[in-house]
Structure 1
Amino acid sequence: MTAVAEVRARSWWIASRLVLAGTVAVALLVGGTALRVWQVAREDNRPSSDAIVVLGSAQYDGRPSAVLQSRLDHALALYRDGVAPRVVTVGGNRAGDRYTEAAAGARYLRGMGVPGGEVYPVEQGSDTLQSVRAVAEVFAAHGWRTAVLVTDPWHELRTERMARDAGIDAVGSPTRSGPVVQTRWTELRYVARETAGYLYYRLFHRSSDAGPPVA
C-alpha cells in the first residue's frame, strides 16, 4: 500500500469512528431526554404553593376543549385539596376568537365554584414559552414564588424547565385524563414530540411547534 493510500485509509477510519461516536452521542441524548419526559410525566408533585398554574389549550367561544377541561378539572381538584389559595389560567387567543384560553379557563373555574378573586387569568401567550414568561411577570408583581403546573403529562418536563428558567419555583402535577392520555400510541407519539420540543428549547431557548395538541 502506498503512503497516499495509507493516509486515505487512516483518514477514512478516523472519520468513520467520529461519525459513529457522534451518532451514539445523539442517540444517547435523545433517548435520555425521552426517558426523562416519560419519568416526569408520571410524577405528581403537589406541595403547598403560591398558585396553581393551568397551561392553556383550545377553547371554543368560551367553552374549554376536552384537553383544556381535563387540565382545569385537575387544577380544581388541587385547589379543593388546599394545594394553593389561587389558580392562574393562561393563554391567548387566535384571530377571530372572542375569548382567550385564559378567560375561558377562568370562566369555567368560576362556574365550578372557585371565587372570582382567587382566579387570575393571564391572557397572553400563543405558545408555552410566551405563556410561562407572562405568568412569571404576574408572579413577580404579586410577590409569588412557588407554583404547581398543570398540563398534559408529556408536556410537564418542558413546561417546568421554562418556568424555572423564568424564575418560578415550579413543580408539576399533570392530568391523568383527556384525549392526550387515552392510548399507548398517543403516549408514544407525544413523548416523541415533547422530546423534540424540549431539546429544541434547550438548544435555542425558543419555543417550538412540538408541543401538545390544542384541540
Structure 2
Amino acid sequence: MPKFKPRWVKLILLSFLSALLLAITSTATSIYLYGNKITDTKAEAAIVLGAAVWGEEPSPVFRERINHAINLYKNQNVTKLIFTGGVGEINEPAEAIVGKKYALANKVKVTDILTETESRTTSQNLKNAQLVASIYQLNKFLIVSDPLHMKRAVLMARHLGMDAYPSPTPTTRYRSFSSQMQFLIRETYFYLVYLVFKI
C-alpha cells in the first residue's frame, strides 16, 4: 500500500477543510440573502410557524410572525391563517392557540383561522399544517417565519409537495449583530443537516 508523506497528508487535510469552509460560508450567505427577498405572491393560506409563548401571550419572536400573518390577511394576500405549534412548557397553552387568540383580538374572522396543536419542530409544523389544509382543500401557501429561518422552512415545505412560497417577517426580534450571527450559525447547521439526512 502507498504511504502518504506528512506533507501530502497536510495538503489533503487543508483542501478538505477549505472545501468545508467554502460550503458553510456559501450556505450561510444563501440563507441570509434568501430571507431578505421581498415577494408579493398571493396564496390561499399563510402557515405561521410556531415559536415560544410567555404564559398566555406570544413571545416577541412569535408576535412578529403573527403580526406579519395578520397583515397578509388584511391586505388580502391570503384568505386563511394556519397557526402551528404545540405545548412548550407544561402549564402553557399551545402556541397555535395563543396565535389564534391574538389574531382574533386583531379582528381576524374565526372562520378564517385554522390550528394544529401537536407539533414541536419546523418539520412537524409543516406536516401537520398540510394535513389541516387538506381538509379545507387549501393548496397554495405562504410560509411565515423569521428571515433567517425562511430558506430551510420553504425547502422542507416543498419536499412535502406543498406549493409554498417565502413570506419572511419584515421586522425581527433578532436585531443585534450577535443575535443574528447566532441565529445564522444555527440555521446553517440545521440546513446542512437537513440536506444530508432530510429530517
Q: TM-score, normalised by structure 2?
A: 0.92
* Structure 1: gaps of 5 or more residues: 1-6, 207-215
Q: Which residue in the other structure is 1:211 paired with?
A: none
Cα drift, residue 159 of structure 1: 0.7
Cα drift, residue 15 of structure 1: 2.8
Q: Which residue in the other structure is 2:195 paired with?
A: 202
Cα drift, residue 202 of structure 1: 1.2
1:186 aligns with 2:179: yes
Aligned partner of 2:53 among 50, 54, 59: 59
* Structure 2: gaps of 5 or more residues: none
Q: Which residue in the other structure is 1:47 paired with?
A: 41
Aligned partner of 2:132 among 135, 138, 161: 138
Alignment partners' CA distance in 1, 2:18 and 2:167: 33
Query: Does structure 1 retain, via aligned residues, the 8 Å contact 2:52–2:88?
Result: no
Structure 1, 114-123 or 185-194: larger mean CA deviation: 185-194
- Root-mean-square deviation (CA, aligned residues, Å) is 1.8
Deviations 1:103-159 (A, max 9, x none): 110111011000000010111211111111111222333322211111111111111
Structure 1, 188-197 or 170-179: larger mean CA deviation: 170-179
Query: Does structure 2 retain, via aligned residues, the 8 Å contact 1:71–1:152?
Result: yes
Query: Does structure 1 retain, via aligned residues, the 8 Å contact 2:115–2:132?
Result: no
Q: Which residue in the other structure is 1:121 paired with?
A: 115
1:23 aligns with 2:17: yes
Structure index of larger Rg: 1
Alignment partners' CA distance in 2, 1:112 and 1:155: 25
Q: Which residue in the other structure is 1:93 paired with?
A: 87
Alignment partners' CA distance in 1, 2:42 and 2:88: 34
Query: Does structure 1 retain, via aligned residues, the 8 Å contact 2:114–2:132?
Result: no
The one-letter amino acid paired with 2:157 is A
**Structure 1 ranges of 4+ moved more than 6 A:** none
Cα drift, residue 189 of structure 1: 1.8
Alignment partners' CA distance in 1, 2:26 and 2:140: 27
SS of equivalent residue, structure 1 residue 179:
coil
Q: TM-score, normalised by structure 1?
A: 0.86
Q: Which residue in the other structure is 1:4 paired with?
A: none
Query: Does structure 2 retain, via aligned residues, the 8 Å contact 1:160–1:172?
Result: yes
